[in-house]
């Protein structure tokens, strides 16, 4: 079976800085530098799966999506979408691709949902015969049928996101790509949208999405690529990625102390792996990976007492993709 | 459905979308009535204040412009100015509006032709513009007693049909600039000023120095404005302006070729730099 997306050696460089007309007229040297937003990504998304690109803001997720959807030209590398070369036959790719890249801003707020979809259906070359049914189907899929004739300006952010998803479904695409589909949504709306994404998989479509919410990637995706500084640092199913952390449990501690805490950290390292430490205003926040919190927590209290420090907060949590990211990059996803 | 038919449907949908949006801002329609009358009327009244109905002044004006109808000359010039502005900046304005709104990328994600994005929204302005012309014609007749002959109006339509491709080609050049550079308002204003000065919008081209007349000779609007005045105010036929129409068609070829090459080059550049989604 043909993979839905195959990207090989994908690189995108942008220029950083400015070289203004005034600088050019004065003969000043061009001091712009080039930076790599995407740095050699190899990707294969299988047909029928929900594939997630997980990473912090600025990791290169959106740039990758824009290259896959023909909006950006890669500096180097090749992309095939549904077996079609994106560089050579972009129009054919666009005809088979449902994309939701800039969410609620990509809609006409002074039109109703139905008018928006009528317009985009024509742009997607949906045949006139059956266009109404296609629009109704898309509205039903995102549960907006009852508000289809309201102006979009009267919608909530979540409803606009759902309408943007409905638009992406108009060409009846085998592949749907969604860039941060739940960003800015309240928990209920986000849950609702995730359900719609699961429906897409149930209909046999392939979904490629980006997110910086680890829970979203964990709950929704069959496979996840963790991306940082334009590179894929890990790629597997969420469960397999979490198994790479050699720990059963994660303990987060907030410890109040005066000194540098080196001795305390050394003692903690004897009973677990100190994955992260951050000092703010006399508090040392530590994340420790361990086999058993029952063993680590008393040891942490003993270590604190021995160092003249106080344990202020203890939290025991299961391993998440956040911990995987942390162990791979040394940073939290939200940093 | 063939690709061309699908694009034509998309074009019609773009026009309908634009008309629906405009219809929801009813106060915009007030502007259609006031400015097209007030602005040219103030120029005519200013001219009358300078020279009254002095036959010598009228004769001097007729020598340079080919007509004694001062009000007709100014009103037709302003009508042409509004029309040229709409056509020339229409494609660029359409793309810029989509870019600022955040819908440009969504349009460019669809398989529809770029021509739809360029010329669909400006085409929606044409009925409005037609209404403006009717208001101006009525004002000219009621306020200054200048009635436009029906035959002249019909022949003007033919000149407009010849002129549209050239004007849209120039408009596409500006639209390409939007894709690559985003805001090109100041350049548009500059070129608009040059067109007003060089193409005989509010005064005869003969008033310009020789070098400026040479510049005017390679700008399609010069011929279009001149020919439309000849149809409406001097009663000339299409045969009388055939030479001008031939030049317009020739210039259309030049500008269209330039527009195609530059639009493709700048669209590709925008795809490399990521300008499609930025503003």
pLDDT tens-digit map of A188-197:
888 988 998 9
* Residue B42 CB-density burial (10 A; 0-12 exposed, 13-18 middle, 19+ buried): exposed
Q: Is the CB of residue B19 less than 8 Å from the CB of residue B12?
A: no
A25-57 pLDDT tens trace? 888 888 888 889 999 999 999 999 999 999 988
Under the banding of pLDDT at 50, 70 and 90, the label for residue A225 is: very high
Q: Is the pLDDT of residue A335 over 80?
A: no
Taking an 8 Å cut-off on Cβ atoms, the answer to whether B276 and A14 are in contact is no
Q: Pairing state of beta strands A97-100 and A175-179?
A: parallel
Q: Which residues in chain B have Cβ-Cβ distances shorter than 8 Å to A66?
A: 274, 277
DSSP state of A133: H
Please give the pLDDT value at position A1: 62
Q: In what order do the strands lie in the sheet with A249-256?
A: A273-280, A283-290, A249-256, A310-317
**Which of A94, A107, A121 is the closest to B111 by Cβ?**
A94
C-beta separation of A33 from A236 below 8 A? no
Whether the CA torsion A204, A209, B116, B22 is positive or negative: it is positive
Nearest to B20 among A71, A115, A124 (CB): A115
Whether the predicted pLDDT of A126 surpasses 60: yes
Q: Are A179 and A171 in contact (CB under 8 A)?
A: no
In the structure, what pLDDT confidence band is assigned to residue A148 with cuts at 50, 70 and 90?
very high
Question: In this predicted structure, what is the pLDDT of residue B24?
Answer: 87
Copy the structure tokens of residue A319: 């391993």
pLDDT above 90: residue B126: no
Residue-wise pLDDT tens digits, A105-122: 889 999 999 999 999 999
- DSSP class of residue A204 equals T
Query: Span A79-94, mean pLDDT?
Result: 95
* A215, pLDDT greater than 60: yes
Percent of chain A with pLDDT over 90: 61
A7 phi/psi in degrees, rounded to 5: -120, 135
Mean of all residue pLDDT scores within chain B: 86
Which chain A residues have any C-beta within 8 angstroms of a chain B C-beta? 14-15, 63, 66, 69-73, 75, 91-92, 94-95, 97, 99, 101-102, 105-108, 110-111, 115, 118-125, 127-128, 167
What average pLDDT does the segment A53-73 reach? Answer: 93
pTM as predicted = 0.83
pLDDT at A94: 95
Query: In whole angstroms, what is the distance from residue A179 CA to residue A175 CA?
Result: 13
Mean pLDDT of chain A: 90
CB A226 within 8 A of CB A234: yes
Q: Nearest-CA neighbor of A231 among A80, A53, A6, A70?
A: A53
- Specify whether the CB–CB gap between B170 and B255 falls below 8 A: yes
Percent of chain A surpassing pLDDT 70: 99
Radius of gyration of chain A (CA): 24
Distance from the A116 Cα atom to the nearest Cα atom in chain B, whole angstroms: 8
Question: Which residues 84-113 of B are in CB contact (within 8 Å) with A?
Answer: 101-103, 105-112
Hey, which of A223-227, A265-269, B59-63 has the most confident mean pLDDT?
A223-227
Tell me which of B277 and B55 has the higher pLDDT: B55
A256: left (phi over 0), alpha (psi -120 to 50) or beta: beta
What does the CA dihedral A244, A319, A289, A294 come to, rounded to 10 degrees? -130
In total, chain A counts a number of residues equal to 335
- Choose the most confident range, by mean pLDDT, from A2-11, A183-192, A288-297, B212-221: A2-11
Question: What is the distance, to the nearest Å, from the Cα of residue B202 to the centroid of all Cα atoms in its chain?
Answer: 14
Decide if pLDDT at A228 tops 90: yes
For residue B172, give the nearest of B88, B71, B47 by alpha carbon: B88
Q: What is d(CA B11, CA B115) in angstroms, rounded to the nearest whole number? A: 8
Contact B128, B18 (CB under 8 A): no
pLDDT at A237 over 70: yes
Residue A248: predicted pLDDT: 79
Q: What is the pLDDT of residue A95?
A: 93
Q: In this predicted structure, what is the pLDDT of residue A74?
A: 96
Q: Write down the pLDDT at residue A334.
A: 60
Using the predicted structure, report yes or no on whether residue B163 has a pLDDT greater than 90.
no
Task: Walk across the sheet containing A97-100 and list its strands.
Answer: A97-100, A175-179, A206-211, A50-54, A223-228, A231-236
- Structure confidence at residue B122 (pLDDT): 87
> Which of the two residues, A16 and A53, has the higher pLDDT score?
A53
**Res B155: pLDDT:** 92
Mean of pLDDT values over A263-267: 89
pLDDT at A96 over 90: yes
- Is the predicted pLDDT of residue B277 greater than 80, yes or no? no
Taking the CA atoms of A146, A151, A156 and A158 in sequence, report the sign of the dihedral they define.
positive
CA A68 to chain centre: 15
Query: What band does B62 get if pLDDT is binned at 50, 70 and 90?
Result: confident
Terminal CA-to-CA distance of chain B, rounded, Å? 36
Q: Phi first, then psi: what are they for B133, rounded to 5°?
A: -65, -40
Is B111 within 8 Å of A91 when comparing Cβ atoms? yes
Q: Are strands A76-81 and A84-85 parallel, antiparallel or unpaired?
A: antiparallel
């Amino acid at each position: 079976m043909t993979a839905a997306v195959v990207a090989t050696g994908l690189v995108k460089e942008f220029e950083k800085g400015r070289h203004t007309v005034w600088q050019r007229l004065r003969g000043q040297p061009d001091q712009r530098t080039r930076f790599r937003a995407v740095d050699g990504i190899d990707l294969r998304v299988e047909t029928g799966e929900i594939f997630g690109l997980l990473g912090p803001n600025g990791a290169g997720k959106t740039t990758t999506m824009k290259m896959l959807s023909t909006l950006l030209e890669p500096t180097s590398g090749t992309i095939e979408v549904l077996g079609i070369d994106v560089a050579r036959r972009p129009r054919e790719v666009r005809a088979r691709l449902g994309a939701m890249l800039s969410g609620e801003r990509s809609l006409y707020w002074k039109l109703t949902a139905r008018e928006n979809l009528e317009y985009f259906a024509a742009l997607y070359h949906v045949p006139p015969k059956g266009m109404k049914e296609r629009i109704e189907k898309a509205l039903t899929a995102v549960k907006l049928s009852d508000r289809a004739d309201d102006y979009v300006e009267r919608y909530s952010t979540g409803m606009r996101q759902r309408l943007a998803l409905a638009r992406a479904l108009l060409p009846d695409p085998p592949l749907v790509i969604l860039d941060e589909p739940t960003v800015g949504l309240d928990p209920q709306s986000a849950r609702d949208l995730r359900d719609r994404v699961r429906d897409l998989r149930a209909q046999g479509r392939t979904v490629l999405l980006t997110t910086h919410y680890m829970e979203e990637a964990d709950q929704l995706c069959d496979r996840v690529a963790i991306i940082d500084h334009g590179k894929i640092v890990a790629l597997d199913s969420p469960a397999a990625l979490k198994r790479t952390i050699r720990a059963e449990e994660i303990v987060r501690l907030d410890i109040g102390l005066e000194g540098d805490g080196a001795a305390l950290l050394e003692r903690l390292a004897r009973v677990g792996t100190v994955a992260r430490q951050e000092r703010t205003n006399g508090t040392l926040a530590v994340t420790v990976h361990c086999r058993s919190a029952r063993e680590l927590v008393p040891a942490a209290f003993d270590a604190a007492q021995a160092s003249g420090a106080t344990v202020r907060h203890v939290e025991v949590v299961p391993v998440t993709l956040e911990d995987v990211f942390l162990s791979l990059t040394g940073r939290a996803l939200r940093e | 459905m063939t690709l061309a038919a699908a694009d034509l449907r998309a074009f019609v949908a773009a026009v309908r979308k634009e008309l629906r949006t405009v219809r929801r801002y009813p106060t915009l329609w007030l502007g259609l009535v006031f400015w097209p009358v007030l602005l040219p009327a103030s120029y005519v009244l200013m001219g009358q204040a300078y020279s009254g109905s002095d036959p010598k002044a009228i004769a001097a004006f007729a020598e340079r412009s080919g007509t004694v109808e001062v009000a007709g000359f100014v009103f037709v010039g302003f009508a042409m100015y509004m029309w040229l502005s709409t056509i020339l900046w229409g494609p660029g304005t359409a793309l810029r509006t989509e870019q600022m709104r955040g819908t440009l990328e969504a349009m460019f994600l669809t398989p529809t032709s770029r021509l739809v994005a360029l010329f669909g929204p400006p085409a929606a302005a044409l009925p409005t513009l037609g209404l403006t012309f009717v208001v101006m014609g009525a004002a000219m007749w009621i306020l200054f007693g200048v009635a436009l002959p029906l035959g002249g109006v019909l022949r003007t339509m033919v000149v407009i049909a010849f002129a549209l491709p050239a004007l849209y080609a120039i408009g596409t050049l500006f639209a390409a600039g939007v894709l690559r550079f985003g805001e090109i308002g100041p350049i548009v204003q500059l070129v608009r000023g040059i067109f007003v000065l060089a193409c005989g919008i509010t005064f005869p081209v003969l008033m310009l120095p020789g070098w400026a007349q040479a510049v005017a000779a390679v700008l399609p609007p010069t011929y279009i404005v001149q020919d439309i005045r000849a149809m409406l105010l001097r009663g000339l036929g299409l045969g009388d302006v055939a030479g001008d129409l031939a030049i317009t068609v020739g210039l259309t070829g030049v500008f269209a070729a330039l527009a195609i090459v530059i639009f493709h080059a700048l669209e590709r550049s925008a795809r490399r730099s990521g300008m499609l989604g930025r503003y």
